[in-house]
A and B are shown apart, each in its own frame.
Chain A
């Protein structure tokens, strides 16, 4: 029997914000709604309000606005963005995956920027990440998850002061690692500084952005369900 059934009647409300060019929205909606059982609404970027009572706002992967100018740069002026900012300011959960992470950095809800992979290649495949800071999306430090990535611009960069703050305040939720959990440059697919795969922001770590796709690895039928741990963690805390 699948463990996911305990969330079948989750009281947590989620929504997925879709931009022109989003392409990982279907699996995000499926994972939240069908796998985790959270009532999930879909919000088009031209709307100006989030669904009433929503707890978790998810920004999916893709190539919003064709990555014109910079990844996420045009999406940040979408009509829905002020409502997402207000939700985050109230302490509401915000999750950005891949292009969603890039959008959150452009909007300023997360520090730093995602730039071209150091090897100049679009990287597509399964990699390992390790939980290096406890938080609502990453409950247990030391856990190693196998997650797929699919991006050309996922190299996390920030200035030294920001990196020191992220380290000091325990905001680096996920780092690329080997299957055994060792932080090693060979296990870093894009050259991210400090091997950063995902970071926290917000007043109570309520904003999380990551480049890997947990929504694409949340069911055993997909070969691995490690990604579901992220969703189960936040869905069990929200509401």
Chain B
């Protein structure tokens, strides 16, 4: 099965990359874009045995806490 982890900069962290994308969209003539935030999607394939394990979600959260996201500046969301 495939699990998806969405990693986003925390709301209070200035997203300079998103800001550059917002400006670029404006230059292309897309009006009305007031804010852009750029994040990451991490897709994780899990084998059948581990996909059935009752602690799957906790393991994915641990992966996010320990590696996929930096909790100092990022939030994450695990989707199964």
- Answer whether residue A77 sits at the interface, using C-beta atoms and an 8 A cutoff: yes
Residues of chain B within 8 A (CB-CB) of A105 are 72
Q: Which residues of B contact A (CB under 8 A)?
A: 13-14, 16-17, 19-20, 67-68, 70, 72-73
Residues of chain A within 8 A (CB-CB) of B67 are 69, 73, 77
- Answer whether residue A150 sits at the interface, using C-beta atoms and an 8 A cutoff: no
Chain A-chain B contacts (Cβ-Cβ < 8 Å), number: 32
Known: A69-B67, A73-B67, A77-B67. A113 touches B16 (CB 8 A): no
A113 near B70: Cβ-Cβ < 8 Å: yes
Our pick among A69, A73, A117, A158 for the contact of B16 (Cβ within 8 Å) is A117
Chain A's closest residue to B20 (CB) is: A120
B70 near A157: Cβ-Cβ < 8 Å: no
Q: How far is the CA of A158 from the CA of B72 in the complex (A)?
A: 7
Our pick among A77, A112, A120 for the contact of B72 (Cβ within 8 Å) is A112
In this complex, the interface size class of chain A, counting residues with CB under 8 Å from chain B, is 10 to 19
- Closest Cβ of chain A: how far from B60's Cβ, in Å? 16
Q: How far is the CA of A105 from the CA of B14 in the complex (A)?
A: 19
Q: How far is the CA of A70 from the CA of B13 in the complex (A)?
A: 15
- Answer whether residue A115 sits at the interface, using C-beta atoms and an 8 A cutoff: yes
- Closest Cβ of chain A: how far from B10's Cβ, in Å? 9
Our pick among B19, B20, B68, B72 for the contact of A69 (Cβ within 8 Å) is B68
A157 near B20: Cβ-Cβ < 8 Å: no
Our pick among A77, A106, A115, A120 for the contact of B13 (Cβ within 8 Å) is A115
Which 3 A-B pairs have CB atoms at the shortest separation, nearest pair first? A113-B72, A113-B73, A116-B16
- 12 A-B contact pairs sorted by A residue (CB < 8 Å): A73-B70, A112-B72, A113-B70, A115-B13, A115-B16, A115-B73, A116-B16, A116-B17, A117-B16, A120-B20, A157-B73, A158-B72
- Closest Cβ of chain A: how far from B5's Cβ, in Å? 11
Residues of chain B within 8 A (CB-CB) of A120 are 16-17, 19-20
